Chains A and B, each alone.
Chain A
Amino acid sequence: MTRKILSGVLGVVIAFLVGALIMLLEGYEPLATYGALAQFSLGGIGPFATTLKNSVPLVLTGLSAAIAFASGPVNLGQPGQLVFGALAATLGGLYFSLPPALEIPLLLLLAIAGGALWSALAGLLRQAFGMSEFIVTLMLNMIADFFTAWAIAYPFMDRKAFSPMTPPIAQSGWMPDIGPLSSSVLLMFAAVAAMWFVVQRWRAGYEWRITGQNSLFARLGGCDVRGNFMAVMLVTGALAGLAGGLVVMAGPHRFIKGLGANYAWDGIMIAIMANNGLLETLIYGVFVAAIQTGALGMELITNVPSEIAQVLQAILVLVIVATREYAAVAFDRLAARRQARRRAP
Chain B
Amino acid sequence: MDDFISLEHIVKVYPPSVLAVDDVSVGFRRGEIHSIVGENGAGKSTLMKLLYGLVPYDSGVVKIDGAPMHFRKPGDAIAMGIGMVHQEIELIPQYTVWENVVLGAEPVRGPGGVLDTKRAIELVRRKIEEFQFHLDPSAQVERISVAARQKVEILKLLYRNVSVLILDEPTAVLTPQEIPQLFAELKRLREAGTTILFISHRLDEVLELSDRITVMRKGKKIATVAASETNKEALAQMMVGRQVIFTSKRTPHRRGDRVFEAKNLCVTRRDGLKLLDDVSFSVHAGEIVGIAGVEGNGQFELVNSIMGLTAPNSGSIAVNGREICGLSILERRKLISFVPQDRAKMGASLAASILDNAIMTHHRLEPRFAAWRGLVLNYRNARAFTDSLVQRFSVQTTSSQSPFRSLSGGNQQKLILGRELLLSTPFFLMDQPTRGLDVGSIEYVHGEILAMREADRAVLLISADLEELFLIADRILVMHRGQIVADLATERTSIEEVGRYMLEGKKTA
Contacts and interface: CB of A to CB of B under 8 A. Distances in A.
Are A and B in direct contact (Cβ within 8 Å)? yes
A219 B338 CA distance: 13
Contacts of B13: 336-337, 339-340, 343
A206 B356 contact: yes
A203 B356 contact: no
A220 B332 CA distance: 10
A220 B352 contact: no
B205 to A, nearest CB: 31
Given A217-B347, A343-B23, A202 B376 contact: yes
B230 to A, nearest CB: 28
A337 B347 CA distance: 32
Contacts of B364: 203, 221-223
Chain A interface secondary structure, helix, strand, loop or mixed? helix
Interface string A241-254: 00000000000000
Interface string A273-305: 000000000000000000000000000000000
A204 B307 CA distance: 22
Given A203-B375, A216-B345, A222-B364, A343 B356 contact: no
B149 to A, nearest CB: 26
A203 B58 contact: no
Contact of B345 (A203, A214, A336): A214
Contact of A222 (B329, B352, B370): B329
A216 B341 CA distance: 13
A220 B375 contact: no
A31 interface: no
B319 to A, nearest CB: 15
A26 interface: no
Given A206-B363, A222-B364, A339-B19, A201 B377 contact: yes
Given A217-B346, A339-B13, A210 B352 contact: yes
Contacts of A340: 11-13, 58-59
B349 A213 contact: yes
A344 interface: yes
Chain B interface secondary structure, helix, strand, loop or mixed? mixed
A202 B11 CA distance: 47
Contacts of A224: 330
A221 B23 contact: no
Contacts of B370: 203
Contacts of A204: 375
Nearest to B347: A217
B351 A213 contact: yes
Interface in A295-345: 329, 331-333, 335-337, 339-341, 343-345
A335 B17 contact: yes
B281 interface: no
Contact of B375 (A202, A221, A333, A339): A202
The 8 closest A-B pairs by CB, nearest first: A340-B58, A332-B15, A222-B330, A332-B16, A221-B360, A344-B59, A336-B13, A336-B15
17 contacts: A203-B375, A206-B356, A213-B349, A213-B350, A216-B345, A217-B345, A217-B360, A218-B349, A221-B360, A224-B330, A329-B15, A336-B15, A337-B13, A341-B58, A341-B59, A343-B13, A344-B11
